[in-house]
Structure 1
């Protein structure tokens, strides 16, 4: 976490663009079927492990993973940095009500933060150019995007260079957590990697099939990778990545 926050700090201080992405099981699986999402992840400057499933999978394959850096925790740390250093954040995404409540609760905790701007995620492609102009003219130091995949990835693929923001980070549903609309799992469940189960408990109708599907697919991908490794076979080529992408 400290290393990631320092990278963000350097980017904002120097105004050199740095894009961060947090990788969890659902996103990893979706990358297999969505080349835009896959390109956004692998072309980001910093990739943090968000989900315990990725930690366990990496360790099972002998990769030196020490810990994860969850998106919501990183967001919280960078907001504290913004207050200390006078950096201006911009929140993009969520519903108007959730966005305003998230900003209010941030200001309750960090009263000296000056937001560069707030914009909900309910705009059409025809209005994207206006949104980009608003963000650029705000001179924001960091941009947190709370829009679902792959919409966020398509927005960044089209406009990343025009935004003029040093640190860019997708935060998924973190605005809902900041606003208090969604509760995080208790810390013991976080450590056990059972945050997904807590989400299912809170929103069973919407979440149970999503997690059942992504977790099952991930288990199959991981099992095949472990089998290939045990047989001394080379890792499978990432044919699902776009041409020219670093592998």
Structure 2
């Protein structure tokens, strides 16, 4: 397995797709990189990319820059994996953010590492902690903060996370609030593993349901979510999916240049 934190042959293990460098690694590689970050206390920031983000990052500079700062940028969406193979720049597998979250929770539980949680509504965060303690007895939750804080409270929350000594920070917040927080406070948190997990707090808290495995395997997880919330998601998915297909066709004939310099690990 290549050294993900100190590799010189980065081009071998990355694919330039839609203007972004994605890491061509498997889930086990990601977890091993996080495990080494815990041992060395060298921060590693994980980023995940799906079709919606591919579309959005073209007009959202903050989102684009935050993704470019990630130490590992991974294909969360199956559509990106399929596109990578059709474009001749194959990624080995989909690595969903929620699956990373669950694997890291297992690692924390097994190795007695502490976690910090930031995001969601207060009642969802409370339910999440209850579910995690049931699933992982003895799991060390160093601190937790809901995601509905005012901008003036961010510094105090960052100080609380830093003082907690947490080994992993999971952010269940939407963009751009997550990116703003990490951009301003991330380097000072002294947390080895940082991972933005989006709506995974709601799923693990039992508030929303994740698609069955069969739906996930055929890349139809988005359709399952659409069935749960058709009015809210129908137009978003219709426009996003159509735009992603257009971008994929454009990428086939005219590959997009990188948005910025290639990420360098081992910062």
Shorter-chain TM-score bucket reads over 0.9
Counterpart mapping for 1:36-47 below 5 A: 36-47=62-73
Q: Within 5 Å, which residues of 2 pair with 1:108-187?
A: 108-187=134-213
Structure 1 residue 236, shift from structure 2 partner: 2.9
Query: Is 1:86 aligned to residue 112 of structure 2?
Result: yes
Q: TM-score, normalised by structure 1?
A: 0.93
Among candidates 216, 223, 226, match of residue 200 of structure 1: 226
Alignment partner of 2:99 out of 61, 73, 76: 73
Q: Indicate the residue corresponding to 2:262 in structure 1.
A: 246
Provide the C-alpha distance between the structure 2 equivalents of 1:155 and 1:118, rounded to a whole number of angstroms: 15
Give SS of 2:157's match.
helix
Q: CA offsets per residue over residues 48-78 of structure 1, 9 Å max, x none?
A: 1111111111111111211111111111111
Matches of 1:245 and 1:40, distance apart in 2? 13
Is the Cα–Cα contact under 8 Å of residues 81 and 90 in structure 2 kept in the other structure?
Answer: no
Output the TM-score relative to the length of structure 2.
0.86
Consecutive unaligned residues of structure 1, counting only runs of 5 or more, are 229-234
Partner of residue 252, structure 2: 226
- SS of equivalent residue, structure 1 residue 112: coil
- RMSD (Å), alpha carbons: 1.2
CA distance in 1, matches of 2:134, 2:188: 32
How far apart are the structure 1 equivalents of 2:256 and 2:205? 42
Q: Encode CA deviations 1:103-160: one digit per residue, 9 max, x unaligned.
A: 1111101101110111000001111111110110011000000100121111111111
Equivalence for 2:50: 24
Secondary structure at 1:48's aligned position in 2? strand
Structure 2 residue 115 is matched with structure 1 residue 99: no
- Contact 1:43–1:245 (8 Å) recurs in 2: no
**Structure 1 runs, 4 residues or longer, greater than 6 Å off:** none
The Cα of 1:227 is off from its aligned counterpart by 2.3
1:236 aligns with 2:238: no
Q: Distance in 2 between matches of 1:196 and 1:175?
A: 17
Partner of residue 4, structure 1: 30
8 Å contact 2:37–2:44 — kept in the other structure? yes
> Aligned partners of 1:224 and 1:162: how far apart in 2?
40
SS of 2:141's equivalent? Answer: coil
C-alpha separation between the residues in 1 aligned to 2:135 and 2:39? 23
Once the two structures are superposed, residues 169-209 of structure 1 have per-residue CA deviations (whole angstroms, 9 ceiling, x without a partner) of 00000000001111011111101101101111111121112
Candidates 48, 57, 60, aligned match of 2:83: 57
- The structure richer in helix per residue is 1
CA separation in 1, counterparts of 2:253 and 2:174?
33
